[in-house]
């Protein structure tokens, strides 16, 4: 598994059928090191993004939705007035995959 966040942002998610192995704990820890603010929580990689107002929060949510549709990989979103918590895992394999990190990197690229 190569590269940090920048390398992942240029990749595309791929379908992962049941039985595909999920990332190991060591692989996840190594990747999370390159994804500041993202943590492992309840079987998903998650990050909370903060905004000055509801309008900007919803603009972010819409951008995340667009990325998710383009990648066919959809996060759980918890939205409030000034925050949005984004959580990814790969349901089809029952764990965390490279697809989760690809989407996380694409979301981070919104702020680059």
pLDDT digits (tens, 9 = 90+) for 49-95: 999 999 999 999 999 999 999 999 999 999 999 999 999 999 999 99
% of the chain with per-residue pLDDT over 70: 97
pLDDT at 6 over 90: no
Q: Which residues on adjacent β-strands are paired with residue 86?
A: 47, 77
Q: Which residues contact 87 (CB under 8 A, 6 or more apart)?
A: 41, 42, 44, 45, 46, 75, 76, 77, 78
Q: pTM of the full predicted structure?
A: 0.94
Q: Is the pLDDT of residue 2 over 80?
A: no
Can you give the pLDDT at residue 34? 94
pLDDT band at 3 (very low <50, low <70, confident <90, very high): low
Domains of the chain: 23-92+100-111 (3.30.1360.20)
């Amino acid at each position: 598994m190569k590269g940090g966040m920048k390398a992942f942002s240029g990749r595309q998610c791929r379908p992962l059928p049941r039985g595909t192995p999920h990332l190991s704990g060591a692989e996840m820890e190594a990747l999370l090191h390159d994804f500041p603010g993202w943590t492992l929580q309840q079987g998903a990689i998650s990050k909370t993004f903060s905004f000055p107002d509801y309008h900007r929060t919803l603009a972010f949510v819409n951008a995340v939705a667009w990325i998710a549709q383009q990648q066919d990989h959809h996060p759980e979103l918890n939205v409030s007035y000034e925050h949005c918590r984004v959580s990814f895992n790969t349901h089809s394999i029952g764990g965390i995959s490279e697809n989760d990190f690809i989407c996380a990197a694409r979301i981070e690229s919104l702020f680059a």
